[in-house]
Structure 1
Amino acid sequence: MATAAVLCIGTELTRGELLNTNATWLAEALTELGCVVLEMDVVPDHAAQLGAALARLGREYDVLVCTGGLGPTTDDITTECVARVLGVPLERNAEALAAIRARLERFGRTPSPSNDKQADFPRGAEILPNPKGTAPGFSVRLDRALTFVLPGVPREMVHMFRESVAPKLRGLVTGGRRQILLRTHGLPESEVNDRLAGIEADFGVTLGYRASFPVIEVKVHAEATDEATAAARARAAADAVRERLGARVVFAEGDVQFAEAVGKLLVERGLRLGCAESCTGGLVGQLLTERSGASRFFAGSIVAYENAAKTALLGVPSALIEAHGAVSREVARAMAEGARARFGVDVVLSITGIAGPEGGTAEKPVGLVHYAVATADGTTDKHFVFAGERDQIRLRAAYAALSLVMRVLYEGHANRAES
């Protein structure tokens, strides 16, 4: 079992000016590789504090991953501090220097003397290339710890970890392990936990849960003496999770967003979707088009915010709005059915509600949202009173409507109103 620590370097982190996403990403990546992460530290660009942290963590852990402080400015001091702790001089690497200058010139920038220091490394260090930026990383043995020093820019760090660090750590950690991420929607975390009772004991795995609106993540983690056994255990347990929760609840495996999963289901069934949005103002359309390829299943979204637009763009009778109000079951259904006629698609969702902070009444409070899904087989509508600020209500309404689309695709129409 290899113990590990993560050290993130930068005064902007200790001052709270920048969110430290590197630490959480690295902790998860190291855990997946079989390391046991016991410590995550943040230090400013201060030589004494950084040097003390490097020396201590190098003594206490098998693996140390550092990020930050490899830039061209005077406050980027990580390389110098590592060399000082090792008691070795810095040496300039001609190959790294040429790569840095070539990258700058490729992007129309004139190399500066300040950039040259990014080609300096502690004597004996193994250089880790950085194809995404100008700051190469390096690895050294810092006392007990196999130490990797990476840039602080997240996309650069992630790429270098995957390409240069992970292969080295796979050879360091013995045994096999496998983790499968399942993403669920539509059940609260407590109910997901209750339904999966006994799976850990039955399959020799551990389950981890994380709520990340609008999704509950279930991580299945298996360890064994070899990779094949761990993979088989994880796969069997993940299949059992799917069986207990159902296909509609477990909407994806891996890093797939909920709107993306709805789109994939539409593509698999050869269906196209349109939207009629009021209080969400096009948010559903935005969620559906965040990934490329949405044109395969998404026709578009009509944003009909005011009552006159609902009538002109969607054909909702003005008398219906006058009788029931714009935020009502009747208008939500009429919006969906009108949009389906105009788009000529298989499925349409509609949303109308009161996102606040003003506009609510005792009968129709802020947060009340009616939404509907119409297909050739009928129309299903639901309503809910969502809590939160305006942006939270809008986002929750958008995901609720997408959830209703998935439900109709799996189960068909209820053909009745539901709360």
Structure 2
Amino acid sequence: MTVALLSIGTELTRGEIVNTNASWLASELTAVGFTVNTSDTVDDDLDRIVAALHRLAETHPLVISTGGLGPTTDDLTALAAARAGGVELVRDESTLLAIRRRVEARGKTMNAGHEKQADVPANSEILPNSAGTAPGFAIRLRNATVYFLPGVPREMKTMFAEQVLPRIRSSAPNNTHQFRLRTYGLGESVIGGRLEGIEEAYPGITLGYRVHFPEVDVKVHARGATQSIARDLAAQATAKVRERLASVLYGEGDDAFPDVVGRTVRARGWRLALSESCTGGMIAHLLTSYPASDYFVGGAVTYANSAKTRLLGVSEDTLRGHGAVSAEVAAEMAEGARRLCEVDVALSVTGIAGPTGGTATKPVGLVYWAVAHPGGTVVRSSVFPGDRQEIRIAAAYAVLDLLRRIAGNLPELSAQEAPAAR
């Protein structure tokens, strides 16, 4: 069954926010066997929303719409749905009561905006929202069933799982299967080259790529006569993909790079400290986005040379002789953090993130990173391309990947695969 997605909101058409809802829904629907072949975005204009609903319902048996169900005057989705279906907008009393209870439980007072969220097209099916105030609803339009969900990602995801998926799952062909592999170390074009010929070798397999800097996901999607056949086919092709991407493959499914790094350090029984300069605490943020208290001790953001000396014990002679952005300083920063925090392993990063500060010999993007561990201190460097944020992210990933490989006794990337090669 084909599905169309409709995202509603002027903030989307103006580029003020990124439309993560559509990509998430498409991934979830694909995983259960639906084919998403249309994803449209429309601004908060009543006539254009109505036209989009008519157009999509004409050619798709299932439409999922997100956004425009809030309390403000530019939230027009419920009215547009009623107009598209040729029915009145009515106030649902049970929904109004649920909204009142939720609002008052937060110690707030109901207002006209809250009440507006209880207005739905007549004869629609109400979809309760356990994560927020605005309910969703479903209507029949032409030959399609159209589900309307809030645009707030947390609410949308909860409602899709609780209200929409149980209603539509039986309509899926149930003849597909997909694996998602997570990689770091190569660009999309290089990965595509390495996987050349796999789709031809495994009929029914489609490879997809998702770039989220500096990572690339590879999706191995199989379609067969039955789900069992599709699963077996996907497993065969995925084994070949894993083989070709072994050096840069760090996980699959919902694995997250910082969490995988943390699990590797934890498995080694090491305790970790950080010393950051140009990344400004980004590495600590990445690691502590997941549970880390059992292995991560702490660290220091030593931006100024004086802080590197006072807190980490970096030699003033080293700073004068080699400069803050150097292999020697990176090594002393990591060793100082390891000594200061009395841990097994410590990381350091020092570099020029730009947009200013570069020279002919030390250009913007030059970064040194180090890992001090029981076997010694390893220092690496690269000149990363990109803007300030991209350089900082690239540096954070580079040192975390080096830590992962040292802690996991994995070989380092080759010269062609190293961060400098991207």
In the superposition, the TM-score normalised over structure 2's length comes to: 0.90
Deviations 1:216-238 (A, max 9, x none): 11111112232233223323333
> Quick one: which amino acid aligns to residue 218 of structure 1?
V
| Mapped partners of 2:86, 2:390: distance in 1 | 54
AA of the residue aligned to 1:253? E
CA distance in 2, matches of 1:217, 1:115: 41
Check if 1:354 corresponds to 2:352: yes
Q: Does 1:345 align with 2:363?
A: no
> Quick one: which amino acid aligns to residue 226 of structure 1?
T
Measured after TM superposition, the shift of residue 134 of structure 1 is 1.2
- Tell me, yes or no, if the aligned pair for 1:127 and 1:136 is still in contact at 8 Å: yes
Sequence identity (%) = 51
Residue 273 of structure 1, CA deviation: 1.5
Q: State whether residues 264 and 408 of structure 2, in contact with CA within 8 Å, keep that contact through their aligned partners in structure 1.
A: no
The aligned counterpart of 2:250 is 251
> Per-residue deviation at 1:319?
2.1
Residue 29 of structure 1 aligns with which residue? Answer: 28
Matches within 5 A, 1:279-294: 279-291=278-290, 293-294=291-292
> 2-side partners of 1:127 and 1:233: how far apart?
40
CA shift for structure 1 position 69: 2.4
Q: Is the 8 A contact 1:70 1:118 kept in 2?
A: yes
Query: 2:79, 2:96 → 1: CA distance?
Result: 17
SS in structure 2 at match of 1:349: strand
What does 1:247-326 correspond to in 2, within 5 Å? 249-291=248-290, 293-326=291-324
Tell me if the contact between 1:207 and 1:218 (Cα under 8 Å) persists in the aligned partners. Answer: yes
Query: Offset of 1:85 from its aligned partner?
Result: 2.7
Structure-2 separation of matches of 1:62 and 1:336: 59
Partner-residue secondary structure (3-state), 1:111: coil
Q: 1:413 to 1:344 in 2, by over 3 A?
A: farther
Query: Compared with structure 1, are the counterparts of its residues 338 and 170 closer, same or farther at alpha carbon in structure 2 (3 Å cutoff)?
Result: same
5 Å-filtered alignment, 1:208-227, equals: 208-227=208-227
CA distance in 2, matches of 1:219, 1:413: 25
Give yes or no for the alignment of 1:13 onto 2:12.
yes
Q: Which secondary structure does the structure 2 equivalent of 1:382 belong to?
A: strand
Against the structure 1 CA distance between its residues 284 and 196, is the aligned structure 2 distance closer, same or farther, given a 3 Å change threshold?
A: same
Q: Which amino acid aligns with 2:6?
A: L
Is the 8 Å Cα contact of residues 355 and 388 (structure 2) preserved in structure 1? Answer: yes
Deviations 1:4-60 (A, max 9, x none): 222222344344444333233333333333333232223333333222222222222
2:190 alignment counterpart: 191
Partner residue of 1:364 out of 362, 365, 369: 362
Aligned to 1:73: 72
8 A contact 1:355–1:390 mirrored in 2: yes
TM-aligned CA deviation for residue 142 of structure 1: 0.7
Moved more, 248-257 or 13-22: 13-22
Contact 2:335 2:372 in 1 (8 A): yes
Deviations 1:43-92 (A, max 9, x none): 33333322222222222211111122222334333223322332333444
Matching residue's letter, 2:214:
P
Secondary structure of 1:295's aligned partner? coil
Q: Answer whether contact 1:380 1:413 (CA < 8 A) is retained.
A: no
Q: What residue number does 1:229 align with?
A: 229
Assess, with a 3 A threshold, how the Cα gap between structure 1 residues 47 and 339 changes in structure 2: closer, same or farther: closer
* Alpha-carbon separation, structure 2, partners of 1:222 and 1:68: 31
Structure 2: distance between partners of 1:185 and 1:249 = 5
What is the aligned partner in structure 2 of residue 48 from structure 1? 47
Q: 2:214, 2:393 within 8 Å by CA — same for their partners in 1? A: no
| Structure 1 residues 94 and 338: CA distance shift in structure 2, 3 A | same
SS at match of 1:168: helix
Q: Secondary structure at the match of 2:108?
A: coil
How has the CA–CA distance of structure 1 residues 165 and 20 changed in structure 2, closer, same or farther, with 3 Å as cutoff? same
Structure 1 residue 412: deviation in Å? 6.6
How many angstroms does 1:239 deviate by?
3.2
> Structure 1 residues 282-291 or 227-236, which shifts more?
227-236
SS at match of 1:339: helix
Change beyond 3 A, Cα 1:361–1:122: closer
Q: CA 1:359–1:112 in structure 2 vs 1: closer, same or farther (change >3 Å)?
A: closer
Cα deviation 1:179-218 (Å, max 9, x = unaligned): 2211101223333223333433444422112221111111
Letter in 1 for 2:365: G
Give the whole-Å Cα distance in 2 for the aligned partners of 1:388 and 1:72: 40
Separation in 2, partners of 1:413, 1:120: 60
2:407 alignment partner in structure 1: 409
Q: Report if aligned partners of 1:178, 1:223 keep a CA contact under 8 Å in 2.
A: yes
1:380 pairs with 2:378? yes
Amino acid paired to 1:227: Q
Give the whole-Å Cα distance in 2 for the aligned partners of 1:143 and 1:374: 65
Q: Where in structure 1 are there 5+ consecutive unaligned residues?
A: none
Moved more, 130-139 or 115-124: 115-124
Secondary structure of the equivalent of 1:171? helix
2:136 is aligned to: 137
Would the aligned equivalents of 1:333 and 1:381 in 2 still touch at CA under 8 Å?
Answer: yes
SS at match of 2:186: coil
CA contact 1:3–1:35 (8 Å) conserved in 2: yes
Distance across 2 between alignment mates of 1:20 and 1:53:
17
Partner Cα distance (1:362, 1:114) in 2: 59
Q: Tell me how far apart the structure 1 counterparts of residues 307 and 225 of structure 2 sit (CA, whole Å).
A: 64
Separation in 2 of the partners of 1:16 and 1:202? Answer: 40
Q: CA deviation at 1:297?
A: 1.9
**What's the TM-score once normalised by structure 1's chain length?**
0.90
Give the structure 2 partner of residue 400 of structure 1: 398
Asked if 1 retains the 8 angstrom alpha-carbon contact of 2:268 and 2:408, the reply is no
More off after superposition, 212-221 vs 61-70: 61-70
SS of residue matched to 1:82: helix
For the pair 1:238 / 2:238, whether they are aligned, the reply is: yes
Who is 1:333 aligned against? Answer: 331
Q: Match of 2:219, SS?
A: strand
CA RMSD of aligned residues (A): 2.4
User: C-alpha distance in 2, partners of 1:72/1:360?
Assistant: 50
1:291-317: CA deviation from partner (whole Å, max 9, x where unpaired): 2x1112211112222233222222222
